């Protein structure tokens, strides 16, 4: 079997890892093994948090809607229940944006639901 010298390949791999770890603090940006573990953990958290972000935003929309609906003596859960019973098909994201940006339109929605 012929001899394979891996100097350039290994160097490229190391440089790639250290480039990805740029800006990390302490030894995480300069020591290869620590940089490698830091990058692995960072990638794992980035992957998981992309999924968590959806739930975080849904909770934010619920909080915004609840805050606006309280002004009309309703709770969030009762408001959503009344929306479903009246067959008004607005999702939480749209309701949150309306409540935040157009309070007068949101007031009309609430009065329609309360009838």
- Domain holding 21, by residue range, is 7-114
Picking from 38, 56, 17, 82, the residue whose alpha carbon sits closest to that of residue 90 is 82
What pLDDT, on the 0 to 100 scale, is given for residue 26? 95
Residue 93 domain flag: yes
What pLDDT, on the 0 to 100 scale, is given for residue 7? 85
pTM higher than 0.75: no
Mean pLDDT of each 10-residue bin along the chain, 115 residues long:
86 95 96 97 96 96 96 94 93 95 94 89
How many domains are there within the chain? Answer: 1
- Domain holding 46: CATH number? 1.10.1900.20
Residue 2 domain flag: no
Residue 92 domain flag: yes
| Distance in angstroms (rounded) separating the CA atoms of residues 17 and 2 | 29
What pLDDT, on the 0 to 100 scale, is given for residue 110? 94
């Amino acid at each position: 079997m012929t001899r394979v010298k891996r100097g350039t390949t290994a160097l490229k791999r190391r440089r790639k890892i250290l480039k990805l770890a740029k800006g990390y603090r302490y030894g995480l940006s300069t020591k290869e093994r620590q940089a490698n573990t830091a990058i692995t953990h960072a990638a794992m958290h980035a992957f998981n948090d992309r999924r968590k972000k959806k739930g975080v935003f849904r909770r934010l929309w619920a909080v915004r809607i609840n805050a606006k609906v309280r002004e009309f003596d309703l709770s969030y859960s009762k408001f959503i229940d009344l929306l479903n019973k009246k067959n008004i098909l607005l999702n939480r994201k749209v309701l949150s944006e309306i409540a935040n940006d157009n309070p007068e339109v949101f007031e009309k929605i609430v009065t329609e639901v309360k009838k």
